[in-house]
Amino acid sequence: MLILAIDTSAIASAALLRSTRTDGAAEVLASFASTETNTHAEVLAPAIQGLLTEAGVAGTGLDRIVAGVGPGPFTGLRVGIATARTLGFAWNVPVDGAMSLDAIAWDVLAAGEVPAEGFTVAIDARRRELYWARYGADGSLAEGPRVSVPGSLPAGPVYGAGAGLYADRLAQSGAAAVERFRDRQPTAASLGAAALRQLARGGQLLGTTPLYLRESDAKVPAAMQGHTP
């Protein structure tokens, strides 16, 4: 199976992955990840074109596109999901979704240091809050995704850039940031690998409805509410 994975829940990233094994083990053919959190619209499409060229793959030759559906901010998620839907339509390729936090959970599993009691993944949700989810020792989702203040996360190890931002406040609930993962953001390469493993196990991926978890900051002005042009 050949897939294009896209994630814009934090940074903009894309990856081409191929799996030919029954256990879903994936080979990353080409990948891109930005270092910024506010340039998604500018860098994503050229990056995807570059990946296809690098790997010598045509979009119509893909078996599937997998888009990270968050949780994440409105603008960032919309860029990635809209890109995935548009490319899927243009290339006649099915498009599925995957929770973006699964990408970091995959990184934890790949590092071979999964705590027996499970672990939490967290990224920045702004407003002094975190997007987070809890995983079992086998990487299966146990709770979430949720958005809350850092001091309310479950006790135990926390992986991801959100933990690095609020390491001191996590201690209020007995949680602790894992040093090696204090700057880790979801990436498309890891998201795609997690999705391929899920499919190989007979699991289902998500739809492409974004996981915003809270309302948009954008509001219709009171003077325009109820106004019909």
What Cα–Cα distance (Å) separates residue 24 from each residue in 45, 56, 103, 157, 210? Answer: 27, 22, 15, 27, 25
The CA-CA-CA angle for residues 113, 114, 118, to 5°, reads 155
* DSSP code of residue 71: S
So what's the pLDDT on residue 218? 45
Sign of CA dihedral 178, 109, 74, 212: negative
* Fold entry, domain 2-99+186-200: Nucleotidyltransferase; domain 5 (3.30.420)
Across the chain, which distance is largest between two alpha carbons, in Å? 59
DSSP helix/strand/coil, 149: coil
pLDDT at residue 25, as a whole number: 87
pLDDT for position 216 = 54
Q: What is the pLDDT of residue 185?
A: 96
* Residue ranges of the chain assigned to CATH 3.30.420.40: 2-99+186-200, 101-181
- 10-residue mean pLDDT series, the chain (229 residues): 96 95 89 84 93 96 98 93 98 98 96 91 96 96 96 96 95 94 96 95 95 66 50
b/e map 30-49, b = 16+ CB within 10 Å: bbbbbeebeebbebbbebbe
> Could you tell me the pTM of the whole model?
0.91
Q: Torsions phi, psi of 201, nearest 5? A: -85, 5
User: CATH homologous superfamily of domain 101-181?
Assistant: ATPase, nucleotide binding domain (3.30.420.40)
